[in-house]
Amino acid sequence: MTQPCENIINPLMLKREGTNQAQRTLKALLPESAPIDQHEIADWLVFVQKLSKYLKYFRTDNQYHNEDWQSFFEKDETAILAVVAVEEVDSYKNRVQELFIKGISAELKNNPVDETKLKQAFANLFSLAANLAWGLNELQQRLPETVALKQTVQNLIKTRLATEFHKLQVYFAAATPDLTDETALLPGTILGQPLAAASEVFTRSFSPFWADSTSIDPNIFGPTTPGEIARKIYFASNHNSFTNIFDQFLRALATINNEAKKQLAETLQRNTHEPHQALLLAFLKLLLYARDQLNTITSQHLDFYYQQILQLAPKPAQPSQAHLIFELARHLESLILPKGTRVNAGKDSKGQEVIFALDADFALNKTQISALKSFYHATPLDEDLKKNAGTIFKGHLFAAPVANSEDGLGAELSLPDKQWHPFAHKIFDNGKLSAIAMPPAQIGFAVASPYLYLTEGTRQVSARFYTSSPAITTGDYSSQVICRLTVADGWYLVPNAVFRREAAYWELVIQLPPDAPATAPYASAVHQQVYGTTNPVLQITLKQTPDTTFIYDQIKTDILTNISLTVTGKGLKNLQVSNDFGAIDPTQPFQPFGPLPQKDAALVIGHSEVFMKKNAVFKVLINWKDLPASMPAKPPVNIYFLRQGLWQQVATDPNLFDGIAGPDNRIPISDATNTAILFTLLNDDRLPVDYQNIPRYTIQSVKGFMQLRLAGDFGHKAYQEQLTEYLIKQSTGAANFKKAVQDIIASTSDKAEALNNISAQVNAMPSRPPEPYTPVIQEIVLDYEATTSLDLSATNSFPDRPLQFFQVFPFGTAERHAALFRPDLDAEQTLSLVPLFRHKNLGNAFFEIKEPDGSIQTWKEHEAEFYIGFTDSTPPQQIAVLFQLVEGTANPHLKKPEQHVHWSYLAGDYWVSFLKEQVSDGTAQLTQSGIITFLLPQLADTQHAIMPAETYWLRAAVHTASDTVCSLISVLTQAGTATFQDQQNASDFLTLPLTAGSITQLQEPQAGVKSVTQPFASFGGHVKENSANYYQRVSERLRHKDRGITIWDYEHLTLEAFPGIYKVKCLPHTQYDPGETQLIYNEQAAGHVTIITIPNLRHRNHINPLQPYTSLGELEKISAYLRRHIACFVQLHVRNPIFEQVQVKGRVKFWPQYDPAAFLVRLKREITQYLSPWAFGQAQDIQFGGKIFASALIDFIEERPYVDYITDFELWHLPGNGLPNSKADEVIATKACAVLVSVPEENHVLDLIPITAETPVTENCGCC
């Protein structure tokens, strides 16, 4: 079965570790490794001793008595110590190992076995140990009592070597003669004594210190039968008792050798030597000068060949550079400092002045940074890295008003170096994203219009936003938005707003109950946001909550075409009412037409909220007080509107007093006393928008009022006449009535007849006329509905637009309409419902971003934006900005695009791309500290709303991989670069950077420069290449010839050019590339070469210390460098290692005296250190590939003093990159570029076994 193309492993690939910086340093490359004369004083002393026995000694009588000069050295402590000091311990060790390995083990593998060679090797092992014992015996006897080494040797013999020597004698006796052959003894000496056969050494007289009475079992030759020589030697050579003899003697020799070297050095410094010995030592010390001079021939020859023949000179000293910040004097607007302007940098170690000089002409001005802000659009990668499963990052928007702060709002930075990220402050916990420490961005849209002026009553607003190209399904999205209205004291949060998506539009419906505050016109001082309007504002922002999906990505593609706005108000009571007698308070019952209404009596009604809205349809609802059931006179009412100061009749209502209610009566009064009149306002009837002054009807009023004018009367005038006539008749008829009654009484005696006659007389008298109805209004209110719309593409009607549409940005707002487009800026011209964060890519003046297939998208959306605000600028003007970065903090997992950081400036409310020649980037797209110089064009201004006004704004935007830029420490203007000028300064000046603050003034002060500061240490300088590095570089150069062909070439080229890289591994015919969905790794890709780098562990990654990554900027530099030295056909990949994690699971029990919680944390930490020791400063190299055994980990855990035992142990391999996790007894890295590392300590899963009372074990005899 074939492997997937993303993960092809070559089982035959060469297993190797790569090369680190330490491995480049070879001793053989240095001239001192091949001196002509290597003798030290000790060597000469040994030589003199050997020579002395060949020198004849003549006494003072000048006669030779068969004597030599040895006696002068036999008892001299310096000479004896010299013999021990020159003894080569490694040589002795190697001879022993060679006899064990080559003489015995290798011979035993032959078929047939040469028994003679075996016996000779076995005999030589006995000889080496026995002769070393004899040498030590002679040494302790020759040394004077005053020499400390004598006591050391005697103690070693008594405590360590006596028993081992005794065993050696016993084993030799058991092996002789069948297993030993002393006919081929090794030559040489030990401690100045010639090697002899062991049989002969054992016959010598050893001092009493070697005496040992221990009983030794001689049977180390195994269960063999007589004659099995090879088997016996095999068992003996592998027996611990036999091999331990050599270990003990070797350790003793090493100890004595080291002590002898120390005591010899001390002896040579004494002045108590014998005269002849002192003379010799003085001569030997003088000889060292001649030796040292002689040994320079090697380096002279090497230098001649390298420098004269090959013309390869050492690298010269590189002058350091420093970034300087200048401050202009107040009385100047600008000043040019010419190239070469000098500044003082203190003094060097010789007391000489240190001078730096400007690298180029520098235009100094007053521009200063006033604000730093950032915006971030969370990505799917954030979602993959999240720590909390309940948190949703993808698609959420964040905005920091103060980018250089801990929380985005201004809190003090917590890291020691005060670093912060220009795009997003992400908080990682062992490689997992735990939080994005920035406030959620306020994103949305808004509408401003007089129609939103809603002061009282029950109010409703219904807005429809007609869009095209919707990317979201229809439904209710009320929970996804927050609606606010401007009111007098700020923003009113509208409860229960309904926001739903229909097929062709978004609809927003809000209800304001009577107790809700009145809306108010926008006022910047009150509402703290920037809106280019004086009308009330309805703002809709998208709601972000950490546990729900944000709808911005779904709604951002909606292209807005039209907006319709409908407002209704019911129960408006605060009317402006007056009649022929003056203004009236409508809150109390009143007579609308006066006490005696006559024809043409009028009631004037007005309401500023209603009458300033064109085409408002409203109803006047009147509640008449004591309205009679029937009226003899019901005059019609003519309806007038005030237009251009004249009352114009628009209608006649004959039913004002008929009690006919409107179809939608909302006033809680009886139908019998309610009257509703329906009207529609024309444009001529509309009041001018004025929210401050409520219009009162006066003779100067020209519009904004309606009038109810009586076309008749209620009979009050006729009633007066009738009443007068009645009263007259009443007064004359009273006398006649009295006389008539008297006549009736006098004319008849019949009482009944008299009563009837009197009653008829009464009925014949005139009756009082009925009083007509005088209208009294108990309550008068208005209901209305007004609708308006806006065509966002209609440029002709833009000046008279009834409403304004705004997009709400994180730091401001901007009105959007086709009439506001700026085609001259080549900027955003899309009427989207919500703001878009993007720039025009096709034909962009700064750079074009190409897709992998080579195509170019018209627009490129931004993942993140960083804003820099400037004040006191005067465009066109040059602005030099220092970006001090924490290099190496970029996310090494991501590939940095070639065209990444896009710069633009704000003109009005549109971002305009810089021309390429207007930006000089010295930061390699924000991956290294440097200066970016901007030429701010004339088009830039300070009048805008999407960002705070009175400020010039620059924007750095990235379309992807925002984490591939480094964190910042500071952003400063008026920055220039100065370079060190060597004035025969001290040679050690460039060994260390010039500390920050060293440069404080110009060498020649200028009145126009107020101050000079050096905010950060100098950089880039180094001393002249030393000899060791020079010889190493040239020797490597002679091997790879400045071309990358072999694995060795690639690795050494990289390590030489990039000292910050600790280790490099070259993988030939290997492709290692990020894929669309997973890693592409192929170890059988012809033409591909992969370079894996590990940085110096002192500069570990800030996100996860267990995984040291090389920064992306450094990887790009390595790739660019190597491409200049390799064949053009090679497909090069420079990558970080794949870190495959190892996890431990199990149950552990601690001893009762240890705190379980504290020591469980400690155990996890120690396991992590065991699996990744290099991450904790331990002197172990990081290894590619490798294996980890479960048994070794179990042993490590159980060796902890606080651990009783561990059970249910599991070792898990978490390779990542789409490969499944697995449990194994042996974890092996899956790829040649992989490194096995521990998971973070808290991710090891160890459960505590509770400590319980144990029943003591007692003896059981078995009888019960």
Q: Which domain holds residue 1245?
A: 1137-1253
Task: Determine the average pLDDT of the residues in 653-678.
Answer: 44
Residue 729 confidence (pLDDT) above 80? no
Four-residue CA torsion sign, 1191, 1197, 1203, 1207: negative
> How far out from the chain centre does Cα 1150 lie?
39
> How far out from the chain centre does Cα 1103 lie?
8
Q: Which residue type is seen at 841? A: N
Query: Residue 998: in which H helix or E strand, if any?
Result: none
- 989 shares a domain with 936: no
Please write down the HEC assignment for all residues of 35-59.
Answer: CCCCCCHHHHHHHHHHHHCCCEEEC
d(CA 343, CA 1012): 9
Does the residue 157 lie in any domain? yes
Does the residue 1020 lie in any domain? no
Q: Note whether 464 and 424 are within 8 A (CB).
A: no
Contacts for 1107 with CB less than 8 Å, ≥ 6 apart: 431, 1101, 1139, 1237
Query: Residue 1183: in which H helix or E strand, if any?
Result: none
d(CA 517, CA 1019): 62
Q: Note whether 548 and 826 are within 8 A (CB).
A: no
- 905 shares a domain with 920: yes
Q: What is the dihedral of CA 60, 65, 68, 74, to 10 degrees?
A: -90
3-state class of 237 per DSSP? helix
Residue predicted with more confidence, 765 or 937: 937
Please write down the HEC assignment for all residues of 504-565.
Answer: CEEEEEEEECCCCCCECCCCHHHHCCCCCCCCCEEEEEECCCCCCCCCHHHHCCCEEEEEEE
> 351, exposed or middle or buried, with CB in 10 Å at 0-12, 13-18, 19+?
exposed
Structural domains in the chain (count): 8
- 966 shares a domain with 913: yes
3-state class of 447 per DSSP? strand
Provide the token pair at 1118: 């390595």
Residue 675 confidence (pLDDT) above 70? no
- 120 shares a domain with 248: yes
Task: Determine the average pLDDT of the residues in 12-32.
Answer: 88
Does the residue 268 lie in any domain? no
Provide the token pair at 989: 């000046």
Q: Per-residue confidence at 737, pLDDT binned at 50, 70, 90?
A: low
Does the residue 487 lie in any domain? yes
- 182 shares a domain with 111: yes
pLDDT at 655 (0 to 100): 64
Residue 557 confidence (pLDDT) above 70? yes
Task: Determine the average pLDDT of the residues in 793-807.
Answer: 92
Q: Note whether 1226 and 1187 are within 8 A (CB).
A: yes
pLDDT digits (tens, 9 = 90+) for 962-1001: 998 999 999 999 999 999 999 889 988 888 899 999 999 9
User: Which DSSP letter does residue 1015 get?
Assistant: -
d(CA 799, CA 789): 14
Please write down the HEC assignment for all residues of 777-841.
Answer: EEEEEEEEEEEEEEECCCCCCHHHCCCEEEEEECCEEEECCHHHCCHHHCCCCCCECCCCCEEEC
Q: What percent of the chain has pLDDT over 90?
A: 57
Residue 408 confidence (pLDDT) above 60? yes
pLDDT at 475 (0 to 100): 93
Please state which of the ranges 689-703, 851-865, 944-958, 965-979 shows the lowest mean pLDDT: 689-703
pLDDT digits (tens, 9 = 90+) for 60-93: 888 888 888 888 888 888 988 999 999 999 999 9
pLDDT digits (tens, 9 = 90+) for 200-247: 999 999 999 999 888 888 888 887 667 688 888 899 999 999 999 999
d(CA 311, CA 854): 46
Residue 912 bridge partners (DSSP) = 905
Residue predicted with more confidence, 596 or 1092: 1092
pLDDT at 761 (0 to 100): 63
pLDDT at 1075 (0 to 100): 56
DSSP E strands: which ranges in 1165-1263?
A: 1187-1189, 1203-1214, 1222-1223, 1226-1228, 1234-1238, 1245-1248
* C-beta atoms surrounding 1219 within 10 Å: 17
Q: Per-residue confidence at 1173, pLDDT binned at 50, 70, 90?
A: confident
d(CA 612, CA 451): 8
Tell me which residue of 614, 774, 628, 741 sits closest to 684, measured CA to CA: 614
- 517 shares a domain with 396: no
Tell me which residue of 262, 263, 267, 86 sits closest to 191, measured CA to CA: 86
Convert 937-968 to b/e letters by CB count within 10 Å (16 or more is b).
eebbebebbbbbeebbbbbbbbbbbbbbbbbb
- 1207 shares a domain with 1122: no
d(CA 856, CA 848): 7
Provide the token pair at 222: 């195994």
Residue 867 confidence (pLDDT) above 90? yes
Contacts for 233 with CB less than 8 Å, ≥ 6 apart: 104, 108, 118, 119, 122, 179, 221
d(CA 587, CA 574): 8
d(CA 591, CA 598): 12
- 361 shares a domain with 374: no
Q: What is the dihedral of CA 1197, 1199, 1205, 1211, to 10 degrees?
A: 20
- 1071 shares a domain with 988: no
Four-residue CA torsion sign, 956, 804, 398, 949: positive
d(CA 54, CA 46): 14
Task: Determine the average pLDDT of the residues in 651-656.
Answer: 67
Tell me which residue of 4, 12, 29 sits closest to 1035, measured CA to CA: 29
Q: Which residue type is seen at 692? A: Q
Query: Residue 1047 belongs to a domain with what CATH number?
Result: 3.30.70
Contacts for 1253 with CB less than 8 Å, ≥ 6 apart: none
Please state which of the ranges 873-877, 968-972, 1140-1144, 1258-1262 shows the lowest mean pLDDT: 1258-1262
Residue 1262 confidence (pLDDT) above 50? no
Q: Which residue type is seen at 504? A: A
Q: Which residue type is seen at 721? A: E
Q: Note whether 1177 and 1250 are within 8 A (CB).
A: no
Does the residue 284 lie in any domain? no
Please write down the HEC assignment for all residues of 142-179.
Answer: HCCCCCHHHHHHHHHHHHHHHHHHHHHHHHHHHHCCCC
Task: Determine the average pLDDT of the residues in 617-633.
Answer: 80
Contacts for 1220 with CB less than 8 Å, ≥ 6 apart: none
pLDDT at 274 (0 to 100): 87
pLDDT at 1001 (0 to 100): 93
Residue 664 confidence (pLDDT) above 70? no
Query: Residue 663 belongs to a domain with what CATH number?
Result: 2.60.120
Four-residue CA torsion sign, 1094, 1096, 1097, 1103: negative
Task: Determine the average pLDDT of the residues in 1153-1179.
Answer: 87
Does the residue 751 lie in any domain? yes
Does the residue 62 lie in any domain? no
pLDDT at 699 (0 to 100): 83
- 560 shares a domain with 582: no
Q: Note whether 183 and 153 are within 8 A (CB).
A: no
Does the residue 1099 lie in any domain? yes
Residue 310 confidence (pLDDT) above 50? yes
d(CA 428, CA 887): 18
User: Which DSSP letter does residue 860 get?
Assistant: E
Q: Note whether 812 and 825 are within 8 A (CB).
A: no
Q: What is the mean pLDDT of the chain?
A: 88
Task: Determine the average pLDDT of the residues in 1194-1206.
Answer: 93
d(CA 1072, CA 1083): 8
Q: Per-residue confidence at 1101, pLDDT binned at 50, 70, 90?
A: very low
- 551 shares a domain with 494: yes
- 388 shares a domain with 361: no
The domain boundary, picked from 1113, 1136, 1159, lies at: 1136
DSSP secondary structure string, 732-752? Answer: HHHHHHHHHHHHHHHH---HH
DSSP secondary structure string, 872-938? Answer: S--SSEEEEEEEEEETT-S-TTSPPPSS--EEEEEETTEEEEPPGGGEEESSTTTTS-EEEEEEE-T
Residue predicted with more confidence, 613 or 753: 613
Q: What percent of the chain has pLDDT over 70?
A: 93
d(CA 1088, CA 302): 38
Residue 728 confidence (pLDDT) above 80? no
